[in-house]
Structure 1
Amino acid sequence: MKLQITHETTYRYDAPILGLVQSLRLTPSVFEGQRVADWTVTVDGGHRGSAFRDGAGDWIESWSVRGPVSEVTVSIHGRIETRDTAGVLRGHRETINPLAYLRDTPLSAPDAALRDLAAGVAGEDALDLSHRLSAEISDAILYRPGVTESRTTAAEALALGEGVSGPYPCADRPCAGAGLPARYVSGYLHSNIDGAPHDAAHAWAEIHTGSLGWVGFDAANRCCPDDRYVRLGSGYDAADAAPIVGRTVGQGAERLDIRVAVEEMDQ
């Protein structure tokens, strides 16, 4: 599938800030499931700093903006070709040992309810267990926008029984309880069958299944990522995998506006 993506994030401040530093994880991953035709990341009034590929295989670049400034826009424009790999992250180079993803974070730490959920699921092998755990999360948490946010913990999402894509990968932390490394993945999803542009920032989980490696699971949509998905990066939780992380110098209160559109191009 050939997709065109536009992603604009605008920060507005009620008083001019003195400066801004950002770390961006906004370049598509390199693996067999996607090939970038062109991709541009810009920051209005910004100066591009260092860029590198981290141990998880994600491309990270730093930007800075000198103030005073009352508005900053981060823009992504790109075209990418994707193909269905049945959720398998094949051909992705990284150096972090999968066992590192068994660790808990403040957002992903399980409570008794999450541990009970994991203990109640069994599978014939790691892949089967991963599918069953993802299905259990789908049944336990109803997809409903506006109920949760990126800072909602896995335990809170399960207790609420509803939320959006953000909590779903965190809620897959029962995999860690079952001895399966799991991580949070950020990206885009083309979900309109008519090909019209639409808001499509999305997140899902990847679980390491042994010899098959990392496999994606989107509990919100009850499927594995296919050619409708564009992978950007991963982390231990939503905060660690955030596409944009920044720090400002100044006292102005911040307001955030995000616009994401994914459009299928003519084949």
Structure 2
Amino acid sequence: MQLSVTHHTRYHYGQAAWLVVQALRMWPAPSESQQVKSWRVEVDGKVLQPTGVDGFGNPVATHAIDRQVSELHLAVHAQVRTLDRSGVHGDDAGGLPPMFFLKPTPLTLPSPGIIALADAAAGEGEGEGEGLGRLHRLANAVRDKVDYVSDTTDACTSAAEAFEAGTGVCQDHAQVLIAAARHLGYPARYVSGYLCPMEADDAAASHAWAELFVDGLGWVGFDPANRVSPDEHYVRVACGRDYRDAAPVRGLHRGGGDETLDVDVRITQSAQTTQ
């Protein structure tokens, strides 16, 4: 599937800020599930190139504005050919070993409720072994427990908090699944990217899901928010232990008062399909 991605993020400051520093993870690493035809990131209309790769394999760059600024505009323009690999990302070339992703983080500490849900899902389906069936049950159990309700959580919400509230968005579904999978002994990591509309009435969006390491397959994606494994509708960008590691933008500003932002994501599909 040929996809065109346009992503605009506009930051507005109540008063002029005199320093803005941002770390960006807005470029995709190479992947067998997608072929990047072109990918351009702009800061106030100027092209920004990645300056390095972090420990998770994500291309990264940091920029700073040390003058008064009341608005800041980030943009992504991309052309990507995606493939349906049934969620299988496979093995990373180099990088961190899967076992690194077994350790909880503050955002993915498993609460007693998450542990109980994981144990219950793992105990179902006797005779199905420890393969993909168990992990799909786990992802569906997370979605059953955490209803999709926007504006009920934020970037600082932990898996345990979202689980207790019973509401959240794709970020929360991913982190609850990660916490549950790690409890069961599966290395798990957070993935950020984009989701092309699957139906005419659906909106394009930035998106998040989880990848779990399965012996014999490598990293396999699970999107509990939509109860599927990522297919050709998904564009994979960055990964990490949790949201903080894979967030497209993390930063700080001095002065400026309250910071608000407007986000517009548009993804269109061309007539050309995969061969």
What is the SS of the residue equivalent to 1:231?
Answer: strand
**Counterparts in 2 of 1:243 and 1:33: CA distance versus 1, 3 Å:** same
Once structures 1 and 2 are overlaid, which stretch shifts more, 172-181 or 57-66? 57-66
Q: Deviations over 1:26-65 (max 9, x none)?
A: 1123111101111110101768586112232211122222
Q: Deviations over 1:166-195 (max 9, x none)?
A: 10011111111101111111100012434x
**Counterparts in 2 of 1:137 and 1:197: CA distance versus 1, 3 Å:** closer
Unaligned runs of 5+ in 1: none
Aligned residue type for 1:100: F
Determine which of 183, 186, 190 is the counterpart of 2:196.
190
User: 2-side partners of 1:21 and 1:166: how far apart?
Assistant: 24
* Residue 44 (structure 2) aligns with: 44
Confirm whether residue 144 of structure 1 aligns to residue 149 of structure 2: yes
Residue 56 of structure 1 contacts residue 94 of structure 1 at CA under 8 Å; is this kept in 2? no
Equivalent residues in 2 for 1:1-267, closer than 5 Å: 1-44=1-44, 48=48, 51-90=51-90, 92-122=92-122, 124-172=129-177, 173-194=179-200, 198-267=203-272
Once structures 1 and 2 are overlaid, which stretch shifts more, 41-50 or 89-98? 41-50
Identity in percent: 38
Instruction: Number of aligned residue pairs: give it.
Output: 266
Once structures 1 and 2 are overlaid, which stretch shifts more, 102-111 or 213-222? 102-111
Q: Deviations over 1:54-106 (max 9, x none)?
A: 23221112222231111110111111110101101136434111111111122
Aligned residue type for 1:207: L
What is the SS of the residue equivalent to 2:67?
Answer: strand
Residue 107 of structure 1 contacts residue 152 of structure 1 at CA under 8 Å; is this kept in 2? yes
Residue 198 of structure 1 contacts residue 263 of structure 1 at CA under 8 Å; is this kept in 2? no
Aligned residue type for 1:161: G
TM-score using structure 2 length = 0.90
User: 1-side partners of 2:94 and 2:208: how far apart?
Assistant: 20
User: 2-side partners of 1:95 and 1:17: how far apart?
Assistant: 37
What is the SS of the residue equivalent to 1:105?
Answer: coil
How far the C-alpha of 1:144 sits from its partner, in A, is 2.3
User: 2-side partners of 1:191 and 1:19: how far apart?
Assistant: 37
Q: Deviations over 1:195-241 (max 9, x none)?
A: x8944111111111122111000001110000000001011111221
User: 1-side partners of 2:74 and 2:15: how far apart?
Assistant: 19
How far the C-alpha of 1:136 sits from its partner, in A, is 1.3
User: 2-side partners of 1:262 and 1:35: how far apart?
Assistant: 16
Aligned residue type for 1:137: V
Unaligned runs of 5+ in 2: 123-127
Aligned residue type for 1:228: H
Once structures 1 and 2 are overlaid, which stretch shifts more, 234-243 or 118-127? 118-127
User: 2-side partners of 1:35 and 1:47: how far apart?
Assistant: 21
Once structures 1 and 2 are overlaid, which stretch shifts more, 31-40 or 97-106? 97-106
Residue 194 of structure 2 contacts residue 205 of structure 2 at CA under 8 Å; is this kept in 1? yes
How far the C-alpha of 1:126 sits from its partner, in A, is 4.0
What is the SS of the residue equivalent to 2:31?
Answer: coil
Residue 189 of structure 2 contacts residue 242 of structure 2 at CA under 8 Å; is this kept in 1? yes
Aligned residue type for 1:259: D
